[in-house]
Chains A and B, each alone.
Chain A
Amino acid sequence: MTDLPGLPSRRSFLKATAAGAALSGLAVSAKARTAEPPVPLDQYQPEFFTPAEWTFVLAATARLIPSEGDGPGALEARVPVFIDREMMGGYGAAADWYMEGPHQPDADPFRGWQTPLTPAEVYRGAIPVFDAWCQQTHGGAFAELDAAKQDAALTALQKGEVALDPTLKDFFSILLQNTKEGYFADPMYGGNHGMQAWTFIGFPGARANFKEWVPRYNVEYPLGPVSIKGERA
């Protein structure tokens, strides 16, 4: 079980274990080619997120892509690790973006990213505000709520019903976008652990060589994914 992500709360831990059992075949075959199994999620030391932020990211991504049912959830795919690393990189720092003022953060959303904050700063600013809103509305920080209340809180956040400063208004959309990125990006970025998300939907990863398969209409492609580093699942 060592490479299955463990989790801080008992409820989440049970959930991850159940999902992990269903996926053990995949996890093992990926592990066989990985020199060292990654640190379990509950022992992972985030580089960017504070402990409170990390608790939120674990809990929120677990609702955005839940572990129940077929296929990996965000936790099995180690999406939180991906997001933590992205925050430390060029994306988190908006390194490529034009960030000069004056800023008009309350502009029509059609006009794109207009906050003076970087994506990492948006996470940093918005998580405590959202947690406080959860406390006030649902009686606990986001991670302490039950799944139904967590979903209700995320829905409110998505619909813009949580009063966030305009500089933070893109929080939900980047959280969701980054969660999906971590689910489907090449595993070398820390998420999509064992290429489980690719296997789940039938995407062959970095194979990128299909000439012979072009005329085979309506016939499922038979090979599983490979990663950029050559892992196979």
Chain B
Amino acid sequence: MARQEKKKDVVIVGLGWTGSIIGMELAQEGLEIVALERGHDQDTVPNFQYPQMIDELKYGVRLGMMQKPRQSTLTIRRNLEESALPYRSLGSFLPGNGVGGAGTHWNGLNWRPMLAEYKLRSHVEQNWGAGIIPEDMQLMDYPVTYEELEPHFARFERVAGISGNAGNINGQIIEGGNPFEAPRSSDYPMPAMPSTYDGAKFAEAAKSLGLHPFARPGGIASTSYVNEYGMQMGPCNHCGFCERYGCYQYSKSSPQTAILDALRKKPNFSYRTGAEVLRVEMAEDGKTATGVTYYDEAAQEEVFQPADLVILAAYQLHNVHLMLLSGIGQPYDPRTGQGVTGKNYAYQMNGGYTLFYENEVFNPFIGTGANGFSIDDYGIGQIDFGTEGFIGGSYISSGQSNGQPIRSMPLPAGTPAWGQGWKDGIKKWYGHSMSIGSHGSHMAYRNNYLDLDPTYKDRHGRPLMRMTFNWHDNEVRMTQFMREKIRPIAEALKPDSMQDAFKKQGQMYDVRPYQTTHNTGGAIMSETPDQGAVNKFSQAWDKHNVFVMGAGNFVQNTQYNPTGLVGGLAYHTAQAIRTQYLSNPRPLV
């Protein structure tokens, strides 16, 4: 028999970005809230302190801040025929663990999706007709509009402390910003960060070709800043240990720097660590949840936490896993197209060039997670899909984030991987290269989805989640288009030599190299209950007191890093709960 805890108004599963946002917003309503975080507690002091944090082996290579697959992982296959195998050691994506979640060790790149991305299916149908949509692509519109989300994007940017230069305020195009961004109601809360040499070179070359470079926006403080919760940030010093690390000063935007100390002061909010939620429990009527059962690591026992409202904020992968285990939404079946939970898993399609300069010095160890310049000239709203033969787009950037030598050692093609040639190569080339990368959209497909694995179990005896995912021709055509568009920029930069890496037709998904932790879908939002698992307020269609946060809500992936939209959606949900749900708990759509 599970131990039972005292009932709460709200239980939040996971205390990363979305759990912290919802916790803070609902705490302001005076609700009794408990957050359950499976990992340990961690904060700037003492956990991220200098110099202990500046340890590439421990954090960059052995992934000290990430989820431990022994405790939690999933299986992966590339198609319906293959048997899925466990993701035994981390590679392609690196989910977080512990208070702050992946929001602690992320890069901080912050974006709002382009206008065309909210109603992408309509955009395609209106401009080129449904005929250009590949047969197995499950292209959808978001059930929310940009106008509805705009105030929530602005709110997230203010809370998180984003540095950047606006390119479009209320329709007025502003020099130095991104002229292709959707109109914003206000500028970023902090000015853009200065760029290193590589970004500046890229910006100059892009400009000379008539493109529109702008400083890359991100949750990296360019100055001192205090947000609405009273949380303070100080200017970043380009330490070069940003992604995969906790910031040793209060400069990177994270739940720790933006929310948690303020939240801890609320007497009606508490959180427990070492508390992995195993499932959401359902009322007999099947229409609502009664709370969650978690595993108490310290007591080594299962605990039932009753609550009136259940918020899944455990990251996209774990939210969908919990939904599949708990019967929230009918599981998606690719053979029939029926079912919603696990549907439309998507990822990100990236590529890049490396440019080598024997006689130029880049000091690659100077950098931040969001350093440099970008262009959006080949963004999803700028491309003629009918002519180019694909649906999608990318933003393109240059800006070094780290020069940590175990992992960041670009060498010209043909340099041996070991021996005298390698040793000569690292001496000659370390610090003498720059890169230009594209970061692109990923559409949803019938056979890219999530369900429960029939074979492998976790330490609690629960089936692992199974990911079925592979690249599709549409994304490969998109990324090859970017390859052609970046080449003239790279050539204008006149490197001694250059090389590129873009996915090719037929290339299979490789789980080993890090790609992005931008896993999306599986708990998609939809206009009607037969199409997705949650409504436009991220409320489960079939369990009205369960709200599902995070990138699982994305109907397909955008061309950007996800957290701007994740944060915007979290504030959108918080407002709906505060203004519509609490007074009258019911399905909001």
Instruction: Using CB atoms and an 8 Å cutoff, list the residues of chain A in contact with chain B.
Output: 63-66, 68-71, 73, 90-91, 94-100, 102, 104, 107-114, 151, 154, 158, 176, 179-181, 184-186, 189, 197-198, 200-211, 213-215, 217-221, 226, 228, 230
Contacts and interface: CB of A to CB of B under 8 A. Distances in A.
B510 to A, nearest CB: 4
B69 interface: yes
A49 to B, nearest CB: 19
Contact of A211 (B68, B69, B235, B361): B235
A97 B71 CA distance: 8
Given A208-B240, A218-B361, A112 B57 contact: no
A108 B85 CA distance: 11
A100 to B, nearest CB: 6
B565 to A, nearest CB: 29
Interface stretch (B21-29, B47-55, B343-351, B383-391): B47-55
A184 B70 contact: no
Given A70-B427, A112-B87, 4 more contacts: A208-B51, A210-B239, A213-B238, A218-B361
A112 B238 contact: no
Nearest to B242: A208
Contacts of B404: 203
B365 A100 contact: no
Interface of B: 50-52, 54-57, 61-63, 68-70, 73, 76, 83, 85-89, 91, 194-197, 200, 235-241, 248, 360-363, 365-366, 403-406, 417-420, 422-424, 426-427, 430-431, 455-457, 508-512
For A66, A111, A228, which residue has the most chain B Cβ atoms within 10 angstroms?
A: A111
A64 B365 contact: no
B238 A211 contact: yes
A218 B365 contact: no
B398 to A, nearest CB: 13
**Chain B's interface: helix, strand, loop or mixed, by majority?**
loop
A151 B56 CA distance: 29
A180 B417 CA distance: 10
A206 B54 contact: yes
B418 A96 contact: no
Contacts of B236: 211
B55 A228 contact: yes
A85 B574 CA distance: 49
A210 B456 CA distance: 47
A154 B83 CA distance: 33
A214 B200 CA distance: 11
Contacts of A189: 57
Contacts of A179: 418
B239 to A, nearest CB: 4
Given A98-B87, A112-B511, A213-B363, A208 B239 contact: yes
Contact of B89 (A65, A100, A110, A113): A113
A98 B363 contact: no
